[in-house]
Amino acid sequence: MSIANPNPLPRPRRVLVVEDDLTSRELIRIALEKTGYAVVPVDGVCAAQKELNALGFEAFDCVVTDYQMPEDTGLALLAWLREHNSQLATIILTAMAEKQLVADSLRGGAVDFLEKPVDIHKLRVAIIKAIEQTRQRRHTFEVQAAVRELGRTQSWMLQARVANLPVHIDLCFHPKLEAGGDFFSHFRPGPDKYCCLLTDVSGHDLQAAYLSAYFQGVVRGMLECATSLPEVFCIFNRMLLEEWNHALHASVGTSVAVCALLIDFKWRTADVITCGTPAPLYVPPEGRLQMLTEPGGIPLGWFEDFDVPARIHASMPGGAFLLWTDGLEDWAEKTGVSPLSAGFALLQARAGGRPAVDLGEASDDILFSTVCIPSAGQKALRWYPLIHERYHGGQLAEIDRLGEHWTRSLQVAVPDLDPMLKHDLLLASRESLLNALQHGCHNEVQCWATFQISFDPETRKFRIWVDDPGNGHAFDLDAHEMTATHHLVDRHRGLLLMKQLSQALTFERRGASVLMELGPEPRRHEPAPTQPAGGGNPFSRNL
Amino acid sequence: MKPDISLDLAQKQLRIAIPGDLISTSVRALHQEIDAALMVPAGAAAPWQTITLNLASAKMVDSMGLNLIVKILKTAQNAGARLQIIYQNPNVHRTLVFTRLDRYADLIKG
């Protein structure tokens, strides 16, 4: 049995010397060997490439090359080294001290530049520097490769499909660096139950990625041992404060924002707890969004006297939950679009349904997911919300800016949207929101209207919901249309437009809640009634 | 936003050009000057027989914009004049047709 030497002697530093002049080559070889370097002398670029290919780039610690050689120049060798992704630092020797050559050499990746005849002392100093440069480059390369591998593992874990899932999960993850602090996992903590966990650890580094996965593992283990979610959160909050942040002596503590969704299939309910993440949304099968909790809150790891936010208990006939991290909101704000439209675009791009989204300005990890609970005849989310926002009555004068925001959001979500349909969507949205802010909110800043646009990618139809807090009023749509058309009154045209632009128009709460459906099919342009309708409902509100 | 208003006495034509969209936010700035141009002293005949509303620069007309058109239309009708509306964008044309204003005004593609 042979025993490997646990501490092999380090090999001598090896220098590749490329010089066509035999005398110069030998002088350099002898001088460097005297200093303890192993030297491989060759007479040109081709010979250098042969040696590098034969022994491997890793066998050398730096390259010293002449610039002017008969078959090719030292810069050509430099370019070849870069092309082969080599981290080998190179020193260029030349008799021609042209400034342009120096600049080209340094731009090409050379670490130093020496004039011929070579001063051996200067050469030795330059070689020490070059060898250190090679070592640093190789170390950086190895770290980058390890991080890329970690990132691949993280992506693989996020995309992993569990067999016979009771839910349909769609997810996209874009770490700011190779790996990130956002994470999402899903598992069965017990019979008839399913848990989805979204975490966002402060920072975008490897520590954040590690802590995020660690937290998810702890939660999963505890839930499978019948610990309740609030208990798990309290325990981990204490762990973070007492063990993690304290042990690291970190000047800035590490925090974990988390959103937990616990689905009970037996009772068709869902419990949601959020600590510091954006508020998740529930999309019932017909598409009108429900916000389950208030956004924000305190993440784990900040305060000792941590109170787990009240869990939200929602009955759930089907539909889907949308969960995302604040990186999506940051990017959407910078880009001037709605976060939901950005999330939809990312999901579509991941599925190959559209070109990739340019996330160049993203300053944080981005994770967006949909968790769909199958119900009768519907397996995946049908009505994707693209815009869901609240506007107060004082924002009436901002309607043009809001229109531009909707335009950008629609553009990022559905880039191939037909221009005519886009115009109709924007005009119908404008009319219905103006009506809500003016008549439902009475232009008051404390009164809020809710605005939503959703999209069905299969039929390419859109739904617009506008809800205001007013009481609405009784009105007769046909009578309004007839009056506006035949009597040229200066009112009701907003309503007329909404009716004509949409394929379906529904009012609830006496008009305080409006639903419009628009799609690519031609609208039915029904003519207005030809005779005035006698004794219609009184119009207390101009639509 | 200001309208470009001119009166062609030879043609008896009042020309009103809107430099952008005719929407709620622009109507507020436009209507005073348009009202002043449409004003006819009591008992006097209007110096125009045609009002030409040029919407060639508009990509959108909303309900407030439509109401302004209706006001111009009524003024024209009361004076026994015609209203011509010049448009370029097909969506503007559709909006005018949706709301039946094509029955009362001549829509001309500019």
For residue A256, pLDDT over 90 is answered with no
- Put simply, the answer to whether B60 touches A426 (Cβ < 8 Å) is yes
- B97 CB contacts (<8 Å, ≥6 apart)? B107
C-alpha span between A480 and A490 (Å, rounded): 11
- A168 CB contacts (<8 Å, ≥6 apart)? A370, A371, A372, A374, A379, A380, A381
Task: Kindly state the tokens that stand for B55.
Answer: 């919407």
Mean predicted confidence (pLDDT) in A165-180: 78
**Domain residues of chain A, as ranges?**
14-145, 162-381, 397-518
What is the pLDDT, as a whole number, of residue A202? 79
The distance of A494 to chain B (nearest Cα, Å) reads 5
ipTM score assigned to the predicted complex: 0.86
C-alpha span between B70 and B91 (Å, rounded): 18
Q: Does B98 touch chain A (CB under 8 A)?
A: yes
pLDDT range class, residue A149, cuts 50, 70, 90: confident
What is the pLDDT, as a whole number, of residue B48? 93
Mean predicted confidence (pLDDT) in B30-49: 89
**Range among A28-42, A136-150, A282-296 with highest mean pLDDT value:** A28-42
The distance of B10 to chain A (nearest Cα, Å) reads 30
pLDDT range class, residue A531, cuts 50, 70, 90: very low
Averaged pLDDT of chain A: 83
C-alpha span between A287 and A454 (Å, rounded): 7
Length of chain A: 543
Q: Does A488 touch chain B (CB under 8 A)?
A: yes
How many C-beta neighbours within 10 Å does residue B108 have? 12
The residue of A427, A438, A500, A526 whose CB has the most chain B CBs within 10 angstroms, and thus the best one to mutate to test that interface, is: A427
**CATH T-level topology, domain B4-109:** Transcription Regulator spoIIAA (3.30.750)
**In this predicted model, what pLDDT tens digit does every residue of A202-213 receive, in sequence order?**
776 777 777 777
The residue of B1, B63, B75 whose CB has the most chain A CBs within 10 angstroms, and thus the best one to mutate to test that interface, is: B63
Residue A266 DSSP code: T
What is the pLDDT, as a whole number, of residue A513? 94
What is the pLDDT, as a whole number, of residue A359? 81
In the CATH scheme, what is the code of domain A162-381? 3.60.40.10
**In this predicted model, what pLDDT tens digit does every residue of A79-103 receive, in sequence order?**
899 888 778 999 988 876 666 676 6
- Which top CATH class is A397-518? alpha beta
Give the residue among A412, A415, A408 at the shortest CA–CA distance from A358. Answer: A412
User: Which residue in chain A has the smallest CA separation from B105?
Assistant: A488
Give the residue among A354, A332, A343 at the shortest CA–CA distance from A416. Answer: A354
**In this predicted model, what pLDDT tens digit does every residue of B48-103 receive, in sequence order?**
999 999 999 999 999 999 999 999 999 999 899 999 999 999 999 999 998 889 98
**In this predicted model, what pLDDT tens digit does every residue of A102-137 receive, in sequence order?**
666 676 667 788 888 889 999 999 999 999 999 998
**In this predicted model, what pLDDT tens digit does every residue of A220-250 receive, in sequence order?**
888 888 888 888 888 888 888 887 776 655 5
**In this predicted model, what pLDDT tens digit does every residue of A304-336 receive, in sequence order?**
777 776 666 667 778 899 999 888 999 999 999
Greater confidence (A362 vs A74) lies with A74
What is the pLDDT, as a whole number, of residue A48? 95
Comparing A162-381 with A397-518, is the CATH topology the same? no
Q: Does B23 touch chain A (CB under 8 A)?
A: yes
Task: Kindly state the tokens that stand for A4.
Answer: 């490997």
- Put simply, the answer to whether A528 touches B95 (Cβ < 8 Å) is no
- Which top CATH class is A14-145? alpha beta
pLDDT range class, residue A162, cuts 50, 70, 90: low
User: Which residue in chain A has the smallest CA separation from B102?
Assistant: A485
Chain B residues in contact with A406 by the CB 8 A cut-off are none
